[in-house]
Structure formats: C-alpha cells, structure tokens
Amino acid sequence: MLAPNFFAHRVLGMKQADFDAKTAIRVGTDPHCLAQVPLFPSLVGLAQFNSKPMFALTQADAVYGNQSYEVAKCKRVFEQLAKELCRRLQVPLPILP
C-alpha cells in the first residue's frame, strides 16, 4: 500500500477497499502531502558527525564539490516544508536572524 493510502486508511478512516490501482492516492496529488523530502544520503553521515542539520553544513564540516549543491537543495526543500506547514497551520513564518 502506498504511503498516502496508508495515511488515508489509518488516519483519515477511509476504507482500504477504496484503493485499487486506478483510485490509489499518489504522492504528487495527495492533498495532505506537505512535501517530498529526498533522502540526501551523502549528507546524513556528515550531519550526524558534526551534530548539525543537513541544511546547515558548510565547507568547515567537510562538505566539498557536489555536496555543496546537495546542501543548498536540502535547505530549499526544508524551507518549502516549513512554509507549507506554516501556511496550513495559519501561523506566520518566523523571521530568523
């Protein structure tokens, strides 16, 4: 069962029989989906080692080459997630220093 269908069944109480190959909820069209967050496998170990979020890694944390693009992409993904979450909760997005 796809994740959106599992959510619809377990959380929203929809009947599992409502989901077949034609009517399955897809991630891209799921109205409850906040964001699609990639795994960023090249950043996970560095973030854990440096005790930092993946989107806050810098060259001082041994981020080089393509990884700097991944850090920037990760930051954009999490910013979009935060904006969408604040929009749905109807709270202003905090302004960070």
DSSP per-residue codes, 21-87:
TTTPPPGGG-TT--------HHHHHHHHHHTS-GGG--GGGT--THHHHHHHHHHHHHHHHHHHHHH
- Within this chain, do residues 54 and 72 fall inside the same structural domain, yes or no? yes
The number of folded domains in the chain is 2
- Within this chain, do residues 10 and 24 fall inside the same structural domain, yes or no? yes
Residue 14 is part of which domain span?
1-33
- Within this chain, do residues 40 and 7 fall inside the same structural domain, yes or no? no
- Within this chain, do residues 52 and 22 fall inside the same structural domain, yes or no? no
Q: Kindly tell me if the per-residue pLDDT of 31 is higher than 70.
A: yes
- Within this chain, do residues 27 and 72 fall inside the same structural domain, yes or no? no
- Within this chain, do residues 94 and 49 fall inside the same structural domain, yes or no? yes
CA 47 vs. chain centroid, Å, equals: 16
Band of pLDDT at residue 12, cut at 50, 70 and 90: confident
Amino acid at 32: H
Task: Calculate mean pLDDT across residues 23-52.
Answer: 89
- Within this chain, do residues 84 and 53 fall inside the same structural domain, yes or no? yes
| 41-79 pLDDT, tens digit each | 999 999 999 999 999 999 999 999 999 999 999 999 999
